[in-house]
Amino acid sequence: MKRMKLPLLYILSVLFSVLPVLIYFIVNHDRYIRSVPEGIKLLFGAIFVIAILIIKALGFLKIKSSIAFFAGLLILSYLLESIISDIVVFSLLALVGEILSAVVRIFIRKEKEKKSYQKTESAVKSAIESISGRV
């Protein structure tokens, strides 16, 4: 179970980022999906957003180019066009999700520090045992 703790915390972090927005969307889905093409666009938009959130949760999201940022923003705006009218609500829910995710990331950082401490402790212990002659 200890080996699964860190991956589970990463999954929980991503879920907390997405869950508030997803719940609101599911409750109001009939407002946003009026036709099949709109549904397909929203599906691709959701996949894009989830991929970004996973990359962010893993710590790999570092946008250095403003061109890449605005290209991503354009793609997201196009794919999520039908929900843009409720952007205030979705932004609020995304903020709530990020706050919950930040709390989980605190536990992730503590778990990483704990693992690092345990590795250092076992290395020091084995070095002391080898020096003192005990095996």
71-104 pLDDT per residue, tens: 887 888 888 787 777 778 888 888 898 899 889 9
Determine what percent of the chain is predicted with pLDDT higher than 90: 4
For residues 21 and 18, give the distance between their C-alpha atoms in angstroms, rounded to a whole number. Answer: 6
**Tokens for 118?**
């345990």
- 16 neighbors 97 (Cβ within 8 angstroms): yes
Phi-psi domain of 59 (left: phi exceeds 0; alpha: psi -120 through 50; beta: other): left
**Tokens for 76?**
């997201």
Confidence of residue 106 (pLDDT cuts 50, 70, 90): very high
Sequence-ordered list of residues with C-beta below 8 angstroms from that of 51, at least 6 positions apart, any chain: none
Predicted structure pTM score: 0.55
For residues 131 and 135, give the distance between their C-alpha atoms in angstroms, rounded to a whole number. Answer: 10
Which of residues 31 and 66 earns the better pLDDT score? 31
